[in-house]
């Protein structure tokens, strides 16, 4: 009987299931039953066995934009075209590049902006309609205004006709280095120009079957403002793109804008380049929900996730996860994991009040720890008057108590200011104590953003991104300090200054220590009470397991040396035999006699990880 079911399941596509649901209204319980059987089959398959979970290591993610990462062009004309400023390609992420990434003890690479999104570069020769400058941010466009969920960005291909093959080759190269692949999943909105030119047979585009006379319908993919045409906003400033922005983009009736703006006249600071997707929530009538029968968008999104999973993708960073109903995540994540049980779903989330709900009910593996640890650490790095290490304590003792291992910690990503920028810290080394805390406070993933490890400052006005202390995601650009490490494609750091080489070495050693640490991955946490001259810019805690004990001490104070004799509680001393006391970031034996306390003398803006 099981063999018979397997054979049947092999001939049932997810598109077939979708049409059954839409046209014949198959009972959802029947689908779940079928998926369960499919899960049992896949779990026992060689595919599942080839993707073991990393139970013994901390997940370490390296985020990069292929458009920027491999770009060797240094012209950097504000608002420059792809011909002027260049673009990195999938093929630029070579074996040498991956070796350089892996040297940081990374095990996942997040390829940001891989999926096709709206841009002003003309690919009409390849059957792709040119986007309208009125609804594209920047010349290269936002990676989060998806134009085709079934395609990759043609900017990233050497041979545009074979762009998907080049992406698939990158996935294969990445896997060959024992690294896993994450891409973005943008479920809340699409580009105003959305149209799939390469969708599989049987797939229907978003909105193709909508009743545009209705503001909301359970059968519609979009929300509408009937009787009104879209008015595209402007900020009144002249740029090199102004000549292309004639205000004549036609959308009638207007569709609701991605950041829940149900108006035909979105503002310039709205996500005006995107359309909000309809997950069965009537926002204009008390947010009443209609989840039975399953909304069409749910089915389309499930198929999209499965499509990319079958391409070898190992995880999805889910954009603005809280803007999509939690019921959808509860429904879709288990189904997609029937294809690969080891997939990880990482949610961009900013509301601590619902973290636990999105993990438990929503089935996410990990969530951003932005509102909490990142925000608290940023104040400490910047030496702000209100900075206090109490924020660190609050994160693990209150905000994410009981589920800290599911929180992703980071100090940079594409949305945040570069640490070395003038608007953040001005100097990358000022963040090292915070990076130590980020990497050791919990067992959850830690993330690096390309260029962070060499102090990239995100300086300059690139175009739409402006001079905002960030590396632009909207423009064609070369990333200067990252390019020093790239060294013309050698990826050997040959053009880095000595201080940049030291910074990268620090990151490399830190992640080497923490990613393989049993105390970090599997251990408990104990907060060291105030002792010695510790103040509200100094913090110490112990991570310990039956195999390892670590004392982590971080001094954020700009002027004071932390001097203390830290007492180790008996219950921690008893969990394992004593080891030679070693500071792991420098691999130096401290020549401290075995005992119940560890003396610490820690310079301003520094940290130690002491094994004892």
pLDDT in tens, 436-489: 999 999 999 999 999 999 999 999 999 998 999 999 999 999 999 999 999 999
Q: What is the mean pLDDT of residues 337-366?
A: 98
Residue 79 has pLDDT above 90, yes or no: yes
Predicted pLDDT at 55: 56
3-state SS class at 524: strand
Find, among 84, 112, 94, the residue nearest to 478 by Cα: 84
Contact 390, 417 (CB under 8 A): no
pLDDT band at 594 (very low <50, low <70, confident <90, very high): low
Residue 268 has pLDDT above 50, yes or no: yes
Q: What is the mean pLDDT of the chain?
A: 91
Contact 562, 592 (CB under 8 A): no
pLDDT in tens, 505-519: 999 999 999 999 999
Q: How far apart are CA 421 and CA 108, in angstroms?
A: 26
Q: What is the 3-state secondary structure (H, E, C) of 360-412?
A: HCCCCCEEECHHHHHHHHHHHHCCCCCCCCHHHHHHHHHHCCCCHHHEEEECC
Q: What is the mean pLDDT of residues 39-46?
A: 35
In Å, what is the CA distance from 11 to each residue of 38, 88, 534? Answer: 12, 39, 66
Q: What percent of the chain has pLDDT over 90?
A: 88
Model-level pTM? Answer: 0.91
Q: Which residues contact 211 (CB under 8 A, 6 or more apart)?
A: 217, 219, 220
Contact 324, 362 (CB under 8 A): no
Running DSSP on this structure, what letter comes out for residue 321?
G
Predicted pLDDT at 273: 98
Higher pLDDT, 161 or 33: 161
Find, among 195, 215, 198, the residue nearest to 207 by Cα: 195
In Å, what is the CA distance from 206 to each residue of 23, 138, 263, 415, 464? Answer: 17, 24, 20, 27, 28
pLDDT band at 56 (very low <50, low <70, confident <90, very high): confident
pLDDT band at 591 (very low <50, low <70, confident <90, very high): confident
Residue 4 has pLDDT above 90, yes or no: no
pLDDT in tens, 160-198: 999 999 999 999 999 999 999 999 999 999 999 999 999
Residue 33 has pLDDT above 90, yes or no: no
């Amino acid at each position: 009987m099981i063999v018979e079911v397997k054979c049947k399941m092999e001939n049932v596509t997810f598109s077939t299931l979708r049409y059954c649901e839409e046209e014949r209204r198959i009972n959802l319980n029947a689908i779940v039953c079928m998926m369960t059987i499919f899960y049992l089959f896949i779990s026992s398959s060689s595919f599942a066995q080839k993707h073991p979970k990393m139970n013994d290591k901390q997940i370490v993610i390296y985020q990069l934009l292929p458009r920027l990462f491999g770009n060797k062009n240094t012209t950097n004309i504000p608002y420059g075209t792809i011909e002027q400023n260049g673009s990195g390609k999938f093929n630029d992420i070579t074996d040498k590049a991956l070796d350089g990434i892996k040297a940081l003890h990374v095990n996942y690479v997040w390829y940001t902006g891989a999926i096709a999104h709206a841009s002003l570069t003309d690919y009409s020769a390849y059957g792709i309609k040119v986007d309208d400058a009125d609804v594209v941010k920047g010349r290269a466009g936002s990676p989060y205004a998806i134009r085709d969920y079934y395609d990759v960005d043609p900017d990233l291909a050497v041979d545009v006709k074979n762009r998907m093959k080049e992406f698939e080759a990158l996935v294969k190269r990445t896997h060959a280095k024992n690294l896993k692949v994450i891409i973005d999943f943008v479920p809340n909105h699409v580009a105003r120009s959305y149209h799939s030119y390469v969708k599989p047979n049987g797939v229907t585009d978003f909105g193709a079957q909508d009743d545009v006379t209705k503001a909301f319908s359970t059968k519609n993919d979009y929300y509408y403002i009937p009787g009104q045409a879209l008015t595209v906003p402007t900020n009144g400033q002249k740029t090199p793109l102004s000549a292309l922005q004639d205000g004549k983009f036609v959308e009638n009736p207007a569709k609701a804008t991605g950041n829940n703006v149900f108006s035909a006249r979105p503002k310039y600071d709205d996500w005006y380049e995107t359309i909000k997707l309809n997950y069965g929530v009537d926002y204009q009538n008390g947010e009443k929900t209609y989840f039975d029968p399953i909304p069409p968008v749910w089915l389309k999104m499930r198929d999209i996730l499965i499509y990319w999973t079958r391409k070898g993708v190992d995880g999805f960073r889910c954009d603005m996860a809280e803007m999509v109903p939690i019921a959808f995540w509860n429904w879709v994540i288990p189904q997609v994991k029937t294809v690969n049980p080891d997939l990880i779903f990482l949610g961009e989330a900013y509301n601590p009040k619902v973290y636990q709900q999105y993990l438990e009910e929503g089935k996410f593996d990990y969530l951003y720890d932005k509102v909490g640890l990142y925000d608290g650490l940023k104040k400490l790095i910047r030496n702000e008057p209100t900075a206090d290490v109490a924020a660190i304590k609050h994160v693990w003792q209150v905000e994410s108590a009981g589920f800290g291992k599911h929180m992703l910690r980071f100090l940079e990503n594409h949305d945040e200011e570069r640490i070395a920028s003038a608007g953040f810290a001005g100097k990358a080394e000022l963040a090292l104590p915070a990076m130590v805390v980020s990497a050791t406070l919990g067992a959850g993933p830690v993330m690096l953003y390309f260029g962070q490890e060499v102090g990239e400052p995100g300086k300059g006005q690139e175009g739409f991104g402006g001079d905002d202390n960030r590396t632009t995601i909207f423009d064609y650009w070369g990333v200067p300090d990252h390019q020093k490490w790239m060294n013309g494609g050698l990826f050997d750091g040959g053009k880095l200054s000595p201080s940049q080489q030291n910074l990268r070495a620090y990151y490399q050693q830190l992640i080497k220590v923490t990613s393989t640490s049993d105390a970090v991955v599997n251990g408990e946490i104990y907060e060291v009470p105030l002792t010695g001259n510790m103040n509200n810019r100094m913090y110490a805690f112990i991570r310990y397991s039956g195999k390892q004990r670590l004392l982590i001490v971080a001094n954020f104070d700009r002027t004071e040396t932390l001097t203390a004799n830290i007492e180790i509680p008996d219950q921690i001393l008893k969990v394992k035999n004593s080891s030679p006391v070693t500071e792991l970031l420098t691999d130096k034996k401290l020549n401290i006699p075995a005992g119940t306390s560890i003396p610490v003398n820690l310079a301003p803006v520094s940290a130690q990880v002491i094994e004892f």
